[in-house]
A and B are shown apart, each in its own frame.
Chain A
Amino acid sequence: MASTDFTLKSRPLTLAYQIPAGRTRRFWEGLREGKVYATRCPKCRKTYFPPAADCPNCLTPEMDWIELSGEAEIEAFTRIETQPASFQEQKPYTVAIGRMKSGVKVLAWLVDAELKDIRVGMKARLTTRVMPDGEPTYVFVPAA
């Protein structure tokens, strides 16, 4: 008879990819300087966040870097109570999508806010933070 507890353990395989970030280096270095950069196509003038090194609209392969700043309006949010394996050490966290004045949207954690105080339509500010592991990141904080 088939049994559900009769299994073989596969050989373990641990994967960690080395992701090339050279073409978006300005963005990753910008985070360390407290800045969040997007790219803008010099030809068709479209702005991209996350930054794209090539323009999907007109296929121009050279982009200008622009700093994203100012207020965002929150369009959607959630609080993650059941975390994935690599985020098990984290306390539950809130993720939101905010629309910047320039029209581009950003998905990031929304910090320094209680779930009960978060609403679709609320104003938030995009800023940078250092994560517990020492890596810089970008987050929303409620607008003062």
Chain B
Amino acid sequence: MRRVAVIGVGNSRFGTRQDVNVAELAFEAVKPALEDAGATAGDIEFMALGSAGAGQWYEELIPAAVVAEYCGLSGAGLTRCEAACSSGSAAFFTAYSVVAGGVADLALAVGLEKMWETDTPTTVEIIGRCGYYLWEFHKFGMTFPAYYAMHATAHMAKYGTTEEDLARVAVKNHKYGAMNPIAQFQKEITLEKALQSRVIAWPLKLYDCSPITDGSAAVVLASEEKAKELRADTPVWIGGIGYSSDTANLSRRQDYVGLRASAAASRRAYEAAGIGPGDVEVATVHDCFTIAEIMAYEDLGFCGKGEGAKLLREGETEVGGRIPVNVDGGLKAKGHPVGATGCSMIYELTRQLREEAVERSRQVPLKKYVALAHNVGGTGHYCYVTVLRR
């Protein structure tokens, strides 16, 4: 396998983006990513597009071809990747594999989602169907907050995690969202406000849930020779990617206090990169709901099982702490355009590793220059963990 570098990244502003259509939204990420890489659209040999809701949340059914045409990429090899909320990582993994395997020298991963073209109950319905429709939605009307709320009740019962602990995740991530100009929510919230917000699926309240978001992110990946040829000044290397999955039915899982796919994918990523959790200096984890961030700390080995809330309470996941997590605002405050999230995580970590996080206040101090992205699809149905290093 060849070494692969990230040499260009771009990210649209996240939020309710009814000012642009889906192709125009992708363009907002593709253009800066190509410019950052010093490449042109015609240089891209292969593009993988991650999007979960094509033909559901938005009207285009073959968005890879639509986006490629709009961004001048027609002629490149194209595919769309679906791995629910980790579709962006699946696209990144595909582009990585193409370059690492020597099939192409320059590839593009694009993450894209347009979720505000349908009304909210319909959007909730489509996400809710992203489990096992036949057995868990058809008769029981499960929603995504509900799937994670079940993990919250189990985690609270087993480890004594509280509703206040969950709210603390929201407070932390909104604090960093307020420092991130691309974030959907750029204002801080108080613990009281989070705790007093309306219940969505008990014990999860409005501020425990990531929002409905439109957004795109793009990443240019290059072989070592191509990175040199394009004179990439600060290539960020892909140390390793781990992946795993779990059953479609939540009822077929071992337990509800963590995600087995996260633990397995991170083990593979650490092994591929030749590192351990203690080497990671900055991480983006999949905080689609507040409980998910607490479980991620544990599943990724940032702390022991059941110690996630303690790690958070002690401020270890803030800038200046032992392992800063989601200092871009996370899915919670930056927003969660489902298929874009995986690529947006790579955007953030690349900028952190280049020490160009937009606000210096959220730049993590680095010694080893090791970062980790953890992207979950569904309720741990899919998982991708990526280690990046400079």
Contacts and interface: CB of A to CB of B under 8 A. Distances in A.
A18 interface: no
Contacts of A97: 150, 250-251, 256
A107 B141 contact: no
A75 B154 contact: yes
A85 B146 contact: no
Contact of B140 (A77, A79, A95, A120): A95
Interface string A99-123: 0000011111100000100011100
A75 B201 contact: no
B146 A80 contact: yes
A7 B18 contact: yes
B250 to A, nearest CB: 6
B59 interface: yes
B66 to A, nearest CB: 14
Interface residues of B, number: 48
Given A81-B198, A120-B153, A4 B140 contact: no
Contacts of B252: 105
A76 B153 contact: yes
A50 B157 CA distance: 26
B60 to A, nearest CB: 10
A2 B157 CA distance: 50
B121 interface: yes
Contacts of A59: none
B125 to A, nearest CB: 4
B303 interface: no
Interface string A78-98: 111111111110100101010
B381 to A, nearest CB: 15
B19 to A, nearest CB: 4
Interface in A1-48: 2-5, 7, 10, 19
Interface in B79-95: none
A76 B128 contact: no
B122 interface: yes
A83 B128 CA distance: 9
Given A78-B202, A79-B201, A107-B136, A85 B124 contact: yes
Contacts of B145: 78, 80, 82
A77 B149 CA distance: 7
Contacts of B136: 107
B143 interface: yes
A138 to B, nearest CB: 8
B70 interface: no
Given A4-B16, A4-B19, A81 B199 contact: yes
A4 B143 contact: no
A131 interface: yes
A2 B20 CA distance: 7
A107 B124 contact: no
B251 A88 contact: no
Contacts of A121: 157
A137 interface: yes
Nearest to A19: B134
B255 interface: yes
Contacts of A5: 18
A137 B139 contact: yes
B249 interface: yes
A82 B200 contact: yes
Contact of B146 (A3, A88, A95, A119): A95
A97 to B, nearest CB: 5
A137 B250 CA distance: 18
Contacts of A135: 139
Nearest to A131: B139
Interface string B203-217: 110000000000000
A76 B256 contact: yes
A7 B214 CA distance: 15
Contact of B18 (A4, A76, A81): A4
Contacts of B124: 82-85
A107 B143 contact: no
Contacts of B250: 97, 107
Contacts of A78: 145-146, 149-150, 152-153, 201-204
Interface string B10-23: 00000010111000
Interface centre among B139, B152, B203, B253 (most CB of A within 10 A): B139
Interface string B155-166: 011100000000
A125 to B, nearest CB: 17
B153 A82 contact: no
B256 A80 contact: no
Contact of A86 (B125, B149, B203): B125
Given A97-B250, A121-B157, A85 B121 contact: yes
Given A50-B249, A108-B140, 4 more contacts: A3-B19, A49-B251, A77-B150, A107-B249
